[in-house]
A and B are shown apart, each in its own frame.
Chain A
Amino acid sequence: QSALTQPASVSGSPGQSITISCTGTSSDVGGYNYVSWYQQHPGKAPKLMIYEVTNRPSGVSNRFSGSKSGNTASLTISGLQADDEADYYCSSYTSKSTVVFGGGTKLTVL
């Protein structure tokens, strides 16, 4: 299985909104509503931010939202804050009953 495709980097100014895309195939992202997003600060373990495409775990800010269209899922962060600067990874369930991650996106808050 190939890794999901994410942009290597995105950036935005405080208060702005940004969107990170995650492109797969009909065998993963497009075939199931089981896409998750993770935030990882340097030297830290990843943190689940979105599950099942659009759902936020308890405690995650509503500035984080997820969506999906066809084979591409997206994570949108509104009202950017300095602490949002981190790496973001998408993941998806696959037709082989496994999980695949994206290549990761580095978010820079200018």
Chain B
Amino acid sequence: QITLKESGPTLVKPTQTLTLTCTFSGFSLTTRGVGVAWIRQPPGKALEWLALIYWDDDKRYSPSLKSRLTITKDTSKNQVVLTMTNMDPVDTATYYCAHHRGNVDLDYFYGMDVWGLGTTVTVSS
């Protein structure tokens, strides 16, 4: 059974850097075709895809946020970490991590098939 859990601060100040950790179980991030994605959702608004890291350490970022995001993995700890710099009140949202299955180079791309429960982050001074 695949499970993911997000953790990190619930409150950050403007201009600070946010660090979120996704701790997962039930799969290995060394398995071909597997990845972990981060998605966020501001209160009452739509989902926004942020970043994805693949089993082979290939990393993809939202073009609009690329300069502020860094995604890394620690396969020994079964964790994926997302950092977002220069936080602003508009970054207030629920942040989700999700198991991603597939890769275009492998001719399949299922998307995010298992999600964590999410963690709420508020940006305020």
- Chain B residues whose CB sits within 8 angstroms of the CB of A89 once the complex forms: 46-47
- Contact between B109 and A52, CB atoms less than 8 A apart: yes
Q: A28-42 CB contact bits vs B (8 Å, 1 = yes)?
A: 000010101010100
- Residue of B48, B104, B115, B117 with most partner-chain A CB within 10 A: B115
- Chain A residues whose CB sits within 8 angstroms of the CB of B112 once the complex forms: 36, 38, 46, 48, 91
- Contact between A34 and B116, CB atoms less than 8 A apart: no
**Given the interface contacts A45-B115, A96-B63, A97-B60, does A91 sit within 8 Å of B108 by beta carbon?**
no
Q: A66-109 CB contact bits vs B (8 Å, 1 = yes)?
A: 00000000000000000000000101010011111111100000
With A and B bound together, what is the CA distance between A3 and B63 in angstroms? 12
Smallest CB separation, A99 vs chain B (Å)? 4
- Number of chain B residues close to chain A: CB under 8 A: 26
- Contact between A91 and B49, CB atoms less than 8 A apart: yes
With A and B bound together, what is the CA distance between A93 and B109 in angstroms? 8
Count A-B contacts at CB 8 Å.
74
Query: A51: which of B47, B62, B63, B113 is its contact (CB, 8 Å)?
Result: B113
- Contact between B52 and A99, CB atoms less than 8 A apart: yes
Considering the complex, give the chain B residue whose CB is closest to the CB of A102: B46
* Interface of B toward A, CB cutoff 8 Å: 37, 39, 46-49, 52, 60-64, 96, 102, 104, 108-118
17 A-B pairs besides A100-B49, A101-B39, A101-B49 with CB distance below 8 A are: A34-B104, A45-B118, A46-B112, A48-B111, A48-B113, A51-B109, A57-B113, A91-B47, A96-B63, A97-B60, A98-B61, A98-B62, A98-B63, A99-B60, A99-B111, A101-B46, A104-B46
